[in-house]
Amino acid sequence: MSTITANTPKEGTLTQGHKKVIFASSLGTVFEWYDFYLYGSLAAIIAKQFFSGVNETTGFIFALLAFAAGFFVRPFGAAFFGSLGDRIGRKYTFLVTIVIMGLSTFLVGVLPNYATIGVAAPVILIALRLFQGLALGGEYGGAATYVAEHAPHGKRGLYTSFIQITATAGLFLSLLVILGCRVYLGTEAFEAWGWRIPFMVSIVLLGISVWIRLQLSESPLFQQMKAEGKTAKKPFRESLFSSNGKLMLLALLGATAGQAVVWYGGQFYSLFFLTQTLKVDGTTANLLVAGALLLATPFFVVFGALSDKIGRKKIVMAGCLLAALTYFPIFKGLTHYANPAVEEARASAPAVVHADPNTCSFQFDPIGKKVFTNSCDIAAAALAKAGIPYEVQPAPAGSLARVTVGAGEVTAYEGAGLSKDDTKSHAEAFAKALKGILIGAGYPEKADPERINKPMVLTLLWVLVLYVTMVYGPIAAWLVELFPTRIRYTSMSLPYHIGNGWFGGFLPTISFALVAATGNMYYGLWYPIIIALMTFVIGSLFLRETKDVDITK
């Protein structure tokens, strides 16, 4: 079999071989991100398919937690595959990762749902998500290191920026496939069984990706290091338990944590916000987000190339700061332009839960065993499920919670001690009464398509993704240049995947829980804002600029 080779980066110019290396690495990574983000894009449907044994609010949180589970194990995949890549080579390591990812994604597509096999369905689903996370943990560091070690000096920001495009391109591809299936099959059929098709398509993408990866030759820097007998014997230990460990911690807190929350805030949380909070239909929301991704994607390369001239650090720090300063007005703008009826109804007839504060719980149950039966919890859960912002005002101890919306009022019920049939009848009666006063006050069940200002929504989404390109475009080159060749794969992978897997991956779950707990539809934004500000301060003070570093040492 022929292999794609490239000259060493010392030559200072990119050969045709270099371009093929970038293309092959990037395309394979696109497919891997496509696999990983299918789940996030279909979280609402997956909640109904695999977590139908609990109430709808808890089920959606479970689906987000299962999504986050893949992120949780990414650092472990980074440690394992990073160590492997530093010992045996970059090429074969990320060949293994893509096989694991592709097979795990395909199996999600054929997995029976909760109604068919019961609790085994969510258990197996989470296990497959864990395999996906482990695989992705080994993928990114390998691809970024591989491309950087082929690129000439002074061009690393530009050429690793193509790797940075792959995450957004993978998300874009997943949205297009989902949209195509939804439009062709219809919403009802898609939600019943058609959602499986995008997962099953991954087996075809896996075949293409493996073929592409087999064409690659090993990184020239690794080949030279191996020939000289300088490869690390225990990369994980050398990376973490040495002075290098402090640098990894600084890279995590001062670079990748903020980059992660800006990335997920700008692309994933915005989609959740449109569909779950503003009730924009899935097709419209996906089209708008896909349009923003398409318009902003070239800026990954723009900011990657710019980082070769002015530095990586300035651009990443600027992106974190801009996001932190503007997230609140941008998301309020999304409400104004995507579903103005919510804004208008909230101003004229705010929803208020009047309840004994001691009966109101933080409704976040990670194991699905707790039942929230207090009248305050029942009222708050119903409003959160409807996507209605509300506030809680204290009422006399022992009183039942009341919901007032403008002049309308409905009293909740106490669920403790009720039989299953009584609980159902009370719930239906309360939901019907609540729906009546909400509609009467002008709160819409769905966003009115005629009132969605699509150009303005698209513009705001584009700005959010533009921030993503600022923090993400230069990050690969920055991380590669921070660490020595012998432990580079491990050292850059760990802070990247802890930052993205933990700080970023848990953003939808944490933000959704914060919104459900407070009734403030914007409260979840505090999480990415605080993390982005932390990164701005630490990165600005303690991390060095690296654009002129010689990575051959």
Identify whether residues 21 and 165 lie together within a single domain. yes
CB of 116 within 8 A of CB of 49? no
Spatial separation of the C-alpha atoms in residues 291 and 451, rounded to whole Å: 19
For residue 117, what are the contacts with CB-CB under 8 A and spacing of at least 6? none
Identify whether residues 240 and 320 lie together within a single domain. yes
> Ramachandran region of residue 419, left (φ > 0), alpha (ψ -120 to 50) or beta?
beta
Q: What is the pLDDT at residue 150?
A: 74
Q: What is the pLDDT at residue 7?
A: 45
- CATH number of the domain enclosing 417: 3.40.30
Structure tokens at 526: 């505090």
HEC profile of 40-99: HHCHHHHHHHHCCCCCHHHHHHHHHHHHHHHHHCHHHHHHHHHHHHHHHCHHHHHHHHHH
Domain of 141? 9-339+449-542
Averaged pLDDT in 10-residue chunks for the chain of 553 residues = 44 55 69 71 80 65 71 81 71 78 87 86 86 80 76 84 81 84 88 90 83 69 58 65 84 95 90 88 88 92 94 96 97 95 88 88 56 82 81 90 92 85 85 90 89 96 96 92 82 85 80 78 92 97 90 68
Q: Residue ranges of the alpha helices (H) in 186-297?
A: 187-189, 196-214, 220-227, 235-240, 243-251, 257-264, 270-272, 282-296
Residue whose tokens read 């513009």: 459
For residue 80, how far is the Cα from the chain centroid? Answer: 22
Residue 4 lies in a domain: no
Q: What is the pLDDT at residue 455?
A: 97
Beta bridge partners of 353: 392, 403
Structure tokens at 53: 């044994």
Identify whether residues 475 and 531 lie together within a single domain. yes
Q: Which of 101, 109, 40, 103 is nearest to 74 (CA)?
A: 101
Identify whether residues 62 and 121 lie together within a single domain. yes
Domain end point (choices 381, 407, 440): 440
SS3 262: helix
Spatial separation of the C-alpha atoms in residues 364 and 362, rounded to whole Å: 6
Identify whether residues 288 and 395 lie together within a single domain. no
- CATH number of the domain enclosing 316: 1.20.1250.20
Q: What is the pLDDT at residue 508?
A: 75
Spatial separation of the C-alpha atoms in residues 230 and 223, rounded to whole Å: 10
pTM (2 d.p.): 0.81
Residue 66 lies in a domain: yes
Residue 2 lies in a domain: no
Question: Which DSSP category does 13 fall into?
Answer: S
SS3 394: strand
Burial state string for 396-420 with b = 16 or more CB within 10 A and e = fewer than 16: eeeebbbbbbbebebebbebeeeee
Q: What is the pLDDT at residue 510?
A: 80
HSE-CB for 492 with a 13 A CA cutoff: 25
Q: What is the pLDDT at residue 531?
A: 96
Q: Cα dihedral angle (141, 487, 551, 159), rounded to 10 degrees?
A: -10
Number of structural domains the chain divides into: 2
Identify whether residues 486 and 434 lie together within a single domain. no
Identify whether residues 192 and 245 lie together within a single domain. yes
Structure tokens at 276: 């779950």
Q: What is the pLDDT at residue 496?
A: 87
Identify whether residues 348 and 409 lie together within a single domain. yes
Q: Which of 304, 312, 167 is nearest to 251 (CA)?
A: 312
Q: Strand 351-355 relative to strand 402-405: parallel, antiparallel, unpaired? A: antiparallel
Question: Which DSSP category does 11 fall into?
Answer: G
- With residue 348 as reference, give the H or E element that holds it: helix 340-348
Spatial separation of the C-alpha atoms in residues 80 and 135, rounded to whole Å: 10
CB of 91 within 8 A of CB of 218? yes
Identify whether residues 127 and 200 lie together within a single domain. yes
Q: What is the pLDDT at residue 333?
A: 96
Residue whose tokens read 């050969």: 15
10 Å CB burial of residue 124 (0-12, 13-18, 19+) is middle
Q: Which of 389, 434, 384 is nearest to 412 (CA)?
A: 434
Domain end point (choices 440, 463, 485): 440
